[in-house]
């Protein structure tokens, strides 16, 4: 049902299908499959990244929330990416859970959702790119 082989009780029961636009920080000016690899797959040998939210892909519910996360990461000398992409989501893409305090959205993609299904609204450079 999901792109990733998820642990038990994942996604949580509070996760819902959503429609609307979400934002993601990406490395290049254009999207590819590598932009949507969850931490659990990137760091599959690290037990720290085997909890449910690590199988989700991170998005934000607003450009401002994404920019705040980007700036906070820079303060820790971590570069999340160089571009901010806005994507239109449909219910059939998967389930999500939002952290209201930060605007962070954990998104678990359904297996049937492909890169070609995503509607890009826009891509903007971060930090002068």
Domain boundaries, the chain: 20-125
96-129 tens-digit pLDDT = 999 999 999 999 999 999 999 999 999 999 974 4
31-78 tens-digit pLDDT = 999 999 999 999 989 888 899 999 999 999 999 999 999 999 999 999
- pLDDT surpasses 70 at 89: yes
The CA-based angle 71-75-76, given to 5 degrees, is: 120
Cβ burial of 44 (10 Å; 0-12, 13-18, 19+) is exposed
Predicted local confidence at residue 48, as pLDDT = 87
Give the rounded distance of the alpha carbon of 62 from its chain centre: 12
Predicted local confidence at residue 68, as pLDDT = 95
> Helix, strand, or coil here: 123?
strand
Predicted local confidence at residue 65, as pLDDT = 97
Residue 78 per-residue DSSP state: -
Q: What is the DSSP string of 15-50?
A: -B---EEEEEEESSSS--GGGG--HHHHTTT-GGG-
**Neighbour count for residue 68 (Cβ, 10 Å):** 14
- CATH topology for 20-125 is ADP-ribosylation fold (3.20.170)
How far the first Cα of the chain sits from its last, in Å, is 37
Predicted local confidence at residue 129, as pLDDT = 47
């Amino acid at each position: 049902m999901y792109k990733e082989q998820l642990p038990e009780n994942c996604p949580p029961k509070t996760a819902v299908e959503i429609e609307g636009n979400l934002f993601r920080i990406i490395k290049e000016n254009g999207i590819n499959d590598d932009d949507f690899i969850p931490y659990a797959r990137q760091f599959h040998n690290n037990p720290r990244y085997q909890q449910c939210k690590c199988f989700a892909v991170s998005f934000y519910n607003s450009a401002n929330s994404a920019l705040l996360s980007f700036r906070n990461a820079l303060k820790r000398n971590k570069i999340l990416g160089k571009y901010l992409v806005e994507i239109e989501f449909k219910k059939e893409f998967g389930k999500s859970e939002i952290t209201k305090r930060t605007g962070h959205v954990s998104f678990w993609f359904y297996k049937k959702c492909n890169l070609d299904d995503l509607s890009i609204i826009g891509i903007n450079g971060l930090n002068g790119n």
